[in-house]
Amino acid sequence: MRVFVLFLFVTQAIFSQQYFTRTGTTEFKASVDTFEPVEAKNNSTTVVLDTNDGAIASLLLVKGFRFRVALMQEHFNENYMDSNEYPKATFKGKIHDFNVTELSSTKEYKISGTLTIKGKSKLISTKATLQKSGNMIILKSSFSVTPQDFNIKIPSIVRKKIAERIHISIHYELSQKK
């Protein structure tokens, strides 16, 4: 029996293909018209996709977000995100009905999973487009969250300058892990 279980584990590992990146792009926009744009980009999101079952996981360092205005970046890290205490944001989920052989053209899939920011987790469900381009899988998606979902407190003095819903967009170009 042990040999059979070991064989199954080894076979799964051999036939399971993983794609990954350490340079995925995650952006957010929390802008309100008539005020200075509140938006940032992080170009160092790490993502792993298992093409065998559609499992996907991502991790980004919160301090990796870059703003146009340095003071805004400082306030984001110190006052809103507490990035010294909560340095990472993660997502762990699944791409439903994923089939890597169907990616010859752009295909839309449902993704669901748990997004964790500032130690608070929230179930997220959204649509994503995936496409295979050469040896890469390109994944794009967007969704919205609220600051309250993750206990992000917005002081009343700036509340009207920050959108009630934060729009997050992702663009990941994943290469096959060898």
Range of the domain at 155: 17-176
What is the C-alpha separation between 87 and 42, in angstroms, rounded? 13
Residue 2 within a domain: no
The domain that contains 72 carries what CATH number? Answer: 2.40.128.110
At 55, give phi and psi (nearest 5°).
Answer: -65, 140
Residue 89 within a domain: yes
Residue 5 within a domain: no
What six digits make up the tokens of 8? 């199954």
Residue 140 within a domain: yes
Residue 172 within a domain: yes
**pLDDT for residue 130:** 97
What six digits make up the tokens of 59? 């991790």
> Along the 178 residues of the chain, how does pLDDT read in single tens digits?
544 444 444 444 445 699 999 999 999 999 888 788 899 999 999 999 999 999 999 999 999 999 999 999 999 999 999 999 999 999 999 999 999 988 888 999 999 999 999 999 999 999 999 999 999 999 999 999 999 999 999 888 888 888 999 999 999 999 998 7
Distances 140 to 137, 161, 170 between C-alpha atoms, Å: 10, 28, 6
* pTM attached to this predicted model: 0.87
Residue 75 within a domain: yes
Residue 41 within a domain: yes
What six digits make up the tokens of 81? 């995100």
3-state helix, strand, coil in the chain (%, to 5): 20, 50, 30
What is the C-alpha separation between 87 and 60, in angstroms, rounded? 8
Residue 115 within a domain: yes
Looking at the 3D structure of the chain, how many domains does it have?
A: 1
Span 103-154, pLDDT tens digits: 888 999 999 999 999 999 999 999 999 999 999 999 999 999 999 999 999 8
What six digits make up the tokens of 132? 């295979």
